[in-house]
Structure 1
Amino acid sequence: MPLDTGQVDTGQVDIGQVDIGPLDTGPADLDLEEGNGVLNRDPLQSHASIGEALRAVRQDRGLTLDELAERTRVRRSYLEALEAMRLDALPSRPFTIGYIRAYALALGLDPEAAVERFKADEPVLDEPLRAPIGVPDERDPRVAAFIAGAVVIVVAIVLWNVAQRAMNASAPPPPKASEAQAWKLLAETRSGPVTLGPPLPAPVESTIPPLYETPGLAEAGPDGKGNDSAPANINDLSDAPLLDLTTLPATFTPKGKVYDSGNPQLGSLVTLQALNNAALIIRGTSGSVYFARQLAAGEAYKVPQLPGLTIDVSEPSDFQVFVAGQSKGVLPARQVLASKLAG
């Protein structure tokens, strides 16, 4: 008798459509939606680099680089370089990690996962430190020149010392007296009486030399002419040389250039006019010179009214004195006070 197993309704098992993306060995988050078994992967691991992953998420959410730069406060150029993974256009590694963290936060992603992906893509290599880009070489060329000059001087000194030692070594030694000659000279020096001279006078404590006396000055006398009488007072008008006053003009008449003190406020009563070529010097009370000139015949000088002026001339008979324009003869002496002439 045949076995009746009955009808078995097996039905159809619908497992839906399974969407399997590209094969990737990275971790994946499984998210099975209702009605189908769709496999959603981590967006940070779904591209070749972290830069491409961030760019894909940004484009998927319809954001521009300008909007993202405003959110993250990061330059747009840095965001472009980060998406293209042009690390040479970015600052140092710590800044780059900070930009990635800010980028992920702005897109609502896990910042730590983004940083880990970057570190996995770009591990730290044990490379030597590189010199900073854009730093100018501030080496002073004068330092090198100074060092070279110092080296040349030192080498020259060393060579000069070596040459001097070589010359001294090659020079013949000085001649030496024989031992017999030395003993003979020593015996001659020791023998014979020693002569002593008279004692020398004690040294003079004062080193002042004796006063110098001009030869013939004592015989010349006080007046310098062999007379015993003293010279007359230079300010005494009574000793004026006797001249024929009739040959001199009675009033002052300019016959050449007339000099004065240059100060119109200083009046003048006394005028000296040169009869011949002669020297005239006007001195003050302290010895200061107010006027000094070699006057030609006919030239004159108006003496200012200042107290204590002394008139010094080479020859008194070469100057005619005018007081208030009237002739008073010639100068009485080589040196005379101007106030005596005006009085």
Structure 2
Amino acid sequence: MPLDTGGVTSLDLRNGGDRETSRAGALTPTLEAGPDIGAALKAAREFRGLNLQELADSTRIRRSYLAAIEEMRLDELPSRPFTIGYIRAYAAALGLDGDAAVERFRRDEPIPDTALRAPIGVSESKDPRLSLIVGGGMLVIAAIVLWNVAQRAMTADAPPPHTAPAAAMAKAKLGAPAGPVALGAPLPAPVESTTPTPYETPGLAEATAAGGSSDAVVAAKRAAALAPKSEAAAPAEPLPISFVPRGTVYGAEPATSLVTLQARKGVSLIVRGNGGAVYFARQLSAGQAYRVPNLKGLTLEVTDPAAFQVFVGGQSKGLMPAATIAAEKLTG
């Protein structure tokens, strides 16, 4: 007797003897089947006998993302553009129309472009404190503006300032007596504000006297060299043996100074400390002197060494040996 197959057209054994049968006339799942696009894609995959891992290997999409698409768990998927791309690739891997799958997804999950309605039974109310704060700020601003306007108006309407004579106002305020006021002698200029003697270019005076001719200057020097010794200048005044003040003495106290410089004529003196800082600078007149403090590193600069007599311990050491010299060398 022939075997009754019950309408089975094919028989396939898989996975160690499991049987899968397909009845004649079975319909292929489409993208419109199922309640949503995820169910349609799952049905198409199962119809073709593919599992999620095989589909993930072919599409390069995570298996968890494919499972979330089938279950429509959109909160486990990336942003909407990525989800659309995954659905298109899923459908194409099954041989289906990717654009049609995306269109079904958009129908199933439209973009929420309408504003949400307010919950029923909840009244919309604003915080009253915010209105009080804003109102108070407006009042403060208005008060400041009005105060400025009032001040300007009061200034414009104010009477002109008092125009009494200056002498009467001074007498009324200070009680100063009428008549001229005697002033004391002017104070000497500070040391820092005294300007040294301007630098004079050597030979400039001779050239100016000779009418600017260098030849005339050379001739005058030769004539002076050939002049007889009897016409030479008279010998200079002898130097005093000990220091005798003949004018203002600047600098340190006698107990803190060993070297004293006394000017024989008008000459400039500059005392510099460590690093070149100016310690003292002044134009001294004849007879005025400067006591050098017992400090290390002081340098003396003068415009004319012969115009200064050096005293060490009150005794004369002769004229200053150089225009620039360390103060410590004068004691040697």
- Specify the TM-score bucket, using the shorter chain as the normaliser: 0.3 to 0.5
TM (norm. structure 2) is 0.37
**Bigger fraction of residues in helix:** 2
